Structure 1
Amino acid sequence: MTTIISDTEETADEGTSGQYAFETSDEGTTLEHPTDRSTREATICVVGLGYVGLPLAVGFAQSDYRVIGYDVDDVTVGRLQEGVDTTGDLPDEAIQDGDISYTTDATSIAEADYVIIAVPTPIDDDERPDLGYVESAAATVGSKMEPGTTVVLESTVYPGTTREVLAPALEDASGLTAGTDFFVGYSPERATPGDDEHGLADVVKVVSAQNEKVLEDLATLYESVVDAGVHPAPSIEVAEACKVVENAQRDLNIAFVNELSMALDNMDIDSRAVLEAAGTKWNFHDYRPGLVGGHCIPVDPYFFAYRSAREGFDPELMQTSRQVNESVPDHVAELTIKALNQSHKTLRESRVLVLGLAYKAGVGDIRSSKIDAVIDALQEYDIDIAGYDPFADGDAARESFGIEVQERLAFEGFDAVVLATPHAEFEQLDLESVARKLTDDPALIDVTGTVGEDAAVDAGFVYRGL
C-alpha cells in the first residue's frame, strides 16, 4: 500500500523488476509497492475533495485506477455520490464516470496503495501557517493505513512540513516508521480554478519523495495522468519551496504594478496607458493592477516568510509586497469615495452596486475574496452596498459579506457601480443603458479595467480605475 508524502533520506535497494519492486528495510522487513502503472492495479485514496482533491481523484479514475474519494463533509460527499460537481470546475459526467467511490468512512483508507492528502492550509489571524487540517488528515490516515502505504501531501506548506509535521503525525497515529513501514512524498498542487487550459493533465507536475525508489514510483504514477510530464525534485524541501515561490513571485510582480497604479493616480496619469506603452518592449512583463484574492497568492508568501524567519532571515521584499497588495482594497474604496464626491453625491445617502463577489473571473468561490475588505471600508462611511455575482451562491454571499445580494442584476436606484470581478458577462454590458438606469451623474469604478475609461465617459459615467 502506498501513501504519498516525500523527502526521506534513506536510499532503497534496486529491488526486482516487474510489476512490484521490493524494498528491504534496515530491520530486514520486506515491503512492496507497485511500480508498473500500465496495469492500473493500484488503489488510490484522495483525502480532501475540494478544488484540488476532486479533479485529482477524477483524473486518476479516468485513467482507469480504482479511486476512493474521502472527505469529512457529509454534504460534499452526498452531492458527489449523487453525481453533482461541488467545485464548478468539472462536468457532472466526470464525477460519475470511472471507478471512483465517494465516502466519509475513514476505514476505506486501508484499501489504498497510495493516499494523497489535499486539504486546506490557511493562515491564522497572525499570518502564521495553520497546519491543523494537515495534522488532522495525517492522524486519520495514519490510524487506518496499512504497512507499505505511500502517502503524498499536495497541500501548500512551508519547506520542511512533510518531514517535520506530516511524517511524525503519521507515525504517531499508526505506530509505524516512515521510510521503513510506510513511505512519504510531496507533490505541490498547481490547480487553477476556472482555467480550462491548465488542468491537471496540462501542467508539469513537480514530484518529490523520501528516497529514489519512491520518487521513481511516484513519478511513474503521476506521469500516467499528467500529459505535460513530471519534474522530479531532488528533495522534498525543494518541492515544498517551489510551490510557495511560484506564487510569491506573482505576488511581488502584482504589488509592483499596484504600487505603480497608486503613484500614477496621484500624478493624474493613466496607469494602464503607461503599462501598455511599456509593454511594447520585448522583455517587459505584462502584469496588471487589481485585488489579490484567492487561496494561493495572498497566502503562500507567508508560508515562505515563516520558515525563513525561523532560520534567522526576514525576506523583506516579499513581506513588503504583501503589505502593498493588502492595501489595495482601501485604495479601491478611496477611488469610489472620490468618484461619488465628483458626482456630487452625499456619501451616507449613496447606494453602490458591486459587480463580482468571487475572487477571480469565471468562478463562484467567494472565500479569500478581497471584495469584502472594499465593502467594509465603504460601509464605514454609511454607504449602502449591494452585490451581484452570476457564479457565486447568493445565500453564501449574503452571509459572508453582510449585504443585499441580487439574484437578478438590476441597476435602478444606485449611484455608483464598482466593477470588481471581471466576469465575461460584465464585458458585454451596454454602458449607456446602465447609466440611464442609475441616478444622475453615475460613477463607475472599474477595478480591473474591464470596460475602459473612454467607453465609460462616453456613456455618461464619472470614471475611476486602478
Structure 2
Amino acid sequence: MYSELLNKEKTIAVIGLGYVGLPLALELAKHFRVIGFDINVERVALMQQGLDPTRELDASVFQHVDVQFTADPADLRNAHFFIIAVPTDINEHKVPNLIPLQKASESVGKALKPGDYVVYESTVYPGCTEEDCLPILEQYSGLKAPEDFKIGYSPERINPGDKTRPLATILKVVSGCDAPALETIAKVYGLIITAGIYEAPSIKVAEAAKVIENIQRDLNISLVNELAMVFDKMDIDTNAVLAAAATKWNFHRYSPGLVGGHCIGVDPYYLLHKARQLGIEPQVIAAGRRINDAMPVWIAKNLVQTLLQKGKNPSSSKVLVMGITFKEDVADIRNSKVVDLVKELMSYSIHVQITDPWASPNEVAHEYKLSLTEQVGKNYDAIVLAVGHQEYKKLSMDYFKEVSHGELIFFDLKGLFQQQRSEADYYWTL
C-alpha cells in the first residue's frame, strides 16, 4: 500500500476538512495524491479557490500540492487510504455526539475495497473505533477487518491559533489493528511528521492517550479556577499568588479562565460516558468539569454584584463583551464559554453587545442565535474583555474609558491590562 500511495497509483482521502483535516490533507498532498472531502459545499468551494475557511492557513499552502477538494461522496470511491477527521462534540445533555463519525464511517464504508485502510483521527473514548465505527464500515462495505481491510487510530494534536507548532512539528501517535497495519500507517504519517512517530501498542491505548491529554489540562485549570474563587473572596490577587508559587522548580503554572473549545471542554465527557457505561463514576474528572462549567455563572454574578454596588440597575445597564471565540486569535466559536457568560448576563435583563474581530457573524447567529455588533458604541456600564485577541492587546485604557458610561468598570478576564489596573475606576480579573 505505502509504495503505491507514494507512486500515486493509489490515493489518500481525508474526510472532514476543518481545523484538523485541512492542514493534514495539504501536508499529505505534498507527497501523495489526496482527495479532501467535506459535506459543507460552501467550505469546499472556498478551498477550491485556495482559501481556508478557518483563517488558519495562508493561501500559499494551497499551491504546488496534489489535492482535489470535493463534497461529492462518490469521489471517495477513488481512494484507498481513508483518514477520518470529523468533529466529535457533545449534545445538550453532555453526552458524546457520534453522528458525524457514524455518517463519515457510512460514506467510507460505501467506498471501501479489499486492501484499503481506514484511520480515525477524531477524539473518542477508548473502544469507539473498534466497537462503534468498525461495525459500520463492515456493514456498508460487506468486508471484514483485518482480513479484507485494515483500520487504525492516530489522535489529532492540532492547536488552533498556534503558529509555533505546525502539524509536521508535533509528534504523532499511531496505532493499527495488527502489525502490518501499524507499519503502513506509521510510514504514511512518518513521511510528513518531522517530529517523529510513536507507535502505540493498540488502538484503545491511542484513543485513551488522546482523551487524557485534555482531561489533564481540564483538571489543572479547574484547580486554579477554584483557587481564583477562593482568593477572590479573600481579596487576594490570584495571578500574584501563581507567580509567587511558580518560583518553585516543580510548580506547574496554569491560569484561571473559561474552558471551551472542541477539546478540553468536551473530551472529558467522552471518558465519563464510557466509564459510566462500565459502572464507574469518576469523581475527580466530573468535579473538574463541574468547576469549569460553572465559571461563566460565577463571573456573571460578580459583574451583576459590582453593578449593584456601583448604584447601577442591571436591567437598565449596557455591557460590552469583547471576544466570543473559544480562544485568542482563532475564528473557532465551538463550545465557547463566552456564550454561556453572555446568556447568563442576559438572564439578568442586561443589554449585552458582543464584538469579535475573528468570529463570523453568520456562524454566531446560526450557532447561538446571538448578534455581533458591527461597531462598538459608547456609554457602556461595564466592559468584559473575554478573549485575548491581538487586536485587543493593542488598545489602551483610554479607549475603554472613552466607550464607558462615566466610570470605567472593567472585567479583564485574561488579565491583559493588569499593569494599568489603577487607571480603571473598578478593575477585576480572574
TM-score by length of 2: 0.96
Tell me the equivalent position of 1:29. Answer: none
Counterpart of 2:312? 345
Query: 2:414 matched to which residue of 1?
Result: 448
Residue of structure 1 in register with 2:150 after alignment? 183
SS at match of 1:283: coil
* 8 Å contact kept, 2:2–2:187: no
User: Among residues 422, 425, 429, which one is paired with 1:461 in the alignment?
Assistant: 425
- SS of the equivalent of 1:405 reads coil
Give the drift of 1:402.
4.3
Q: Is this contact kept in 1: 2:36–2:69, CA < 8 A?
A: yes
Query: Which residue of structure 1 aligns with residue 69 of structure 2?
Result: 102
State whether structure 2 residue 120 is matched by structure 1 residue 153.
yes
Letter in 2 for 1:462: Y
Q: 1:266 aligned to 2:230?
A: no
Cα separation, 2, equivalents of 1:38 and 1:100 = 14
Structure 1 contact 60–225 (Cα < 8 Å) conserved: yes
Deviation at 1:113, TM superposition (A): 2.2
Q: CA deviation at 1:138?
A: 1.0
Structure 1 residue 257 displacement after superposition: 0.1
Contact persistence 2:219–2:288 (CA under 8 A): yes
In the other structure, the counterpart of 2:262 is: 295
CA distance in 1, matches of 2:89, 2:344: 24
Indicate the residue corresponding to 1:437 in structure 2: 403
Which amino acid in structure 2 is aligned with residue 223 of structure 1?
A: G
Determine whether 1:233 maps to 2:200: yes
Once the two structures are superposed, what CA deviation does each residue of 1:90-143 show, in whole Å capped at 9, x if it has no partner? Answer: 112223431100112222222222100111111122222121111111111111
* Aligned mate of 2:335, from 343, 368, 372: 368
Correspondence list, 1:66-465, <5 A: 66-408=33-375, 410-452=376-418, 454-457=419-422, 459-465=423-429
Contact 2:83 2:121 in 1 (8 A): yes
Are residue 54 (structure 1) and residue 22 (structure 2) matched? Answer: yes
Q: 1:247 to 1:436 in 2, by over 3 A?
A: same
Higher RCO (CA-CA < 8 Å; seq separation 6+): 1
AA paired with 2:217?
Answer: R
- CA–CA distance in structure 2, aligned partners of residues 374 and 387 of structure 1: 11
Listed one character per residue, the Cα deviations across residues 168-226 of structure 1 (whole Å, up to 9, x for unaligned) are 11000000011011110000011111111122101110000000111011111101011
Distance across 2 between alignment mates of 1:332 and 1:237:
38
Q: CA RMSD in A?
A: 1.6
- CA deviation profile, 1:255-308 (whole Å, cap 9, x unmatched): 000000001111111111111111111111110000000000011111111112
Aligned mates of 1:397, 1:34 — CA distance in 2: 42
Q: What amino acid does structure 2 have at the position aligned with 1:82?
A: Q
Q: 1:465 corresponds to which letter in structure 2?
A: T
Mapped to 2, the partners of 1:51 and 1:433 lie a distance apart of 33
Alpha carbons 2:152, 2:177 under 8 Å: kept: yes
CA distance in 2, matches of 1:276, 1:323: 26
Native 8 Å contact 2:410 2:424 kept in 1: no
For 2:19 and 2:321, how far apart are their aligned partners in 1?
25
Q: Which amino acid aligns with 2:14?
A: V
**Are the aligned partners of 1:411 and 1:438 in contact in 2 as well (CA < 8 Å)?**
no
Is there any run of 5+ residues in structure 1 with no aligned partner, and where? 1-32
88-97 or 246-255: bigger deviation: 88-97
Question: How many percent identity over aligned positions?
Answer: 42
Q: Partner letter of residue 147 of structure 2? A: T
Letter in 2 for 1:447: L
Which stretch has the larger CA shift, 219-228 or 95-104? Answer: 95-104
- Contact 1:152–1:184 under 8 Å retained in 2: yes
CA gap of 1:259–1:382, structure 2 versus 1, over 3 A, is: same
In structure 1, what residue type is equivalent to 2:117? Answer: T
Contact 2:38/2:70 (<8 A) preserved: yes
* Contact 1:264–1:271, Cα closer than 8 Å, also in 2: yes
Letter in 2 for 1:347: P
For 1:456, the aligned partner's letter is R
Larger Rg: 1
Give the CA deviation at 1:460.
Answer: 3.0
